[in-house]
């Protein structure tokens, strides 16, 4: 009860936002329109859940949060890229993100794709340059690349996108296993790696890393179930994007599979 999560998160979010702002002050060679699109999406008001988890993991391992700010920002950059690309017409086709027009609605599709590309690469530049010593930077780059890549977030997104196709109505594709596998990669991997990066920059031991990752898996699943529930129950203004989309598209979701009550129980 002595721990006020809202207050701690607010304080950490302010530090993360200041660092993000500094990191996307891009100079020489970056066209103004591209920089504007990068800043528009990265600095838009989000919860900063993943970077907050990085900082809190570092603190849990006994180090000051300052040491974790570059890794925290790198995770948020990859997250912001994924949201920009996810909103594109070829993906989830969303007009609204974080309570404002999606990046491609504001800047056009080509600039939005490039802003996503630039954020993804900037994340690794920041890790390589700002994390010390170099072997920890290399470990962070490897971990983030694995989580965000073809067997992680991108793979989960690919299966999710394929699931929207009318041909995928076989019963197996509608199983709990499929649902959890998609979410573990699409959403869970980035939440898990946030905790792993926090531990890595703190030079934590294997037991600490595993404990944090186990926590990350549980939080990731609870987060996804809640996201599905908000899509069913949420108001657009509260969630900052269109509500009710999942059922319109016949998407595989936790409330769709287990009902809202059982889904809430599982998230709890």
Least Å distance, CB 94 to ligand GRG, is 8
Query: To the nearest whole angstrom, how small is the minimum distance from the Cβ of residue 216 to ligand GRG?
Result: 14
Q: Whole-angstrom Cα distance, residue 69 to residue 56?
A: 11
Give the nearer residue to ligand GRG in terms of CB position, either 9 or 141.
Answer: 9
| Whole-number Å distance between alpha carbons of 66 and 198 | 11
Cβ–Cβ < 8 Å for 248, 93: no
Shortest Cβ distance from residue 231 to ligand GRG (Å)? 8
Tell me which residues touch ligand GRG (CB under 6 A). Answer: 46-47, 49, 79, 82-83, 85-86, 91, 98, 153-154, 157, 186-187, 227
Q: Which is nearer to ligand GRG, 98 or 104 (CB)?
A: 98
Closest contact distance (angstroms) between CB of 212 and ligand GRG is: 18
**Half-sphere exposure for 249 (CA within 13 Å, toward CB):** 21
Q: How far is the CB of 182 from ligand GRG (least distance, A)?
A: 10
Name the residue whose CB lies closest to ligand GRG: 46
Distance set, CA 19 to CA 5, 14, 23, 43, 70 (Å)? 21, 9, 6, 10, 8
By C-beta, is 26 or 44 nearer to ligand GRG?
A: 44
Q: Which is closer to ligand GRG, CB of 180 or CB of 227?
A: 227
Q: Measure the CA–CA gap between 67 and 234, rounded to whole angstroms.
A: 37
The answer to whether 195 and 212 have CB atoms below 8 angstroms apart is yes
**Shortest approach of ligand GRG to residue 194 CB, angstroms?**
11
- For tokens 């179930």, the residue is 225
The span from the CA of 224 to the CA of 186, in Å, is 10
Structure tokens at 127: 């890790």
């Amino acid at each position: 009860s002595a721990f006020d999560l809202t207050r701690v998160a607010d304080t950490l979010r302010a530090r993360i936002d200041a660092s993000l702002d500094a990191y996307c002050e891009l100079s020489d060679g970056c066209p103004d329109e591209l920089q504007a699109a990068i800043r528009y999406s990265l600095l838009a008001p989000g919860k900063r859940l993943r970077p907050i988890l990085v900082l809190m993991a570092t603190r849990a391992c006994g180090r000051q949060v300052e040491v974790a700010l570059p890794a925290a920002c790198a995770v948020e950059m990859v997250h912001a890229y994924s949201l920009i690309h996810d909103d594109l017409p070829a993906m989830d086709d969303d007009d609204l993100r974080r309570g404002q027009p999606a990046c491609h609605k504001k800047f056009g599709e080509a600039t939005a794709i490039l802003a996503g590309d630039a954020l993804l690469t900037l994340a690794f530049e920041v890790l390589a340059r700002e994390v010390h010593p170099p072997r920890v930077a290399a470990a962070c780059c490897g971990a983030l690349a694995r989580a965000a890549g073809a067997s992680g977030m991108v793979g989960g997104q690919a299966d999710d996108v394929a699931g929207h196709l009318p041909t995928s109505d076989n019963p197996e594709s509608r199983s709990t296993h499929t649902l959890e596998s998609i979410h573990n990669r699409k959403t869970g991997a980035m939440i898990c790696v946030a905790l792993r990066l926090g531990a890595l920059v703190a030079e934590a031991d294997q037991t600490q890393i595993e404990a944090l990752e186990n926590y990350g898996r549980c939080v990731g699943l609870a987060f996804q179930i809640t996201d599905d529930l908000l899509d069913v129950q949420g108001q657009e203004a509260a969630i900052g994007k269109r509500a009710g989309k999942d059922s319109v598209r016949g998407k595989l979701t936790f409330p769709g599979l287990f009902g809202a009550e059982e889904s809430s129980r599982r998230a709890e």
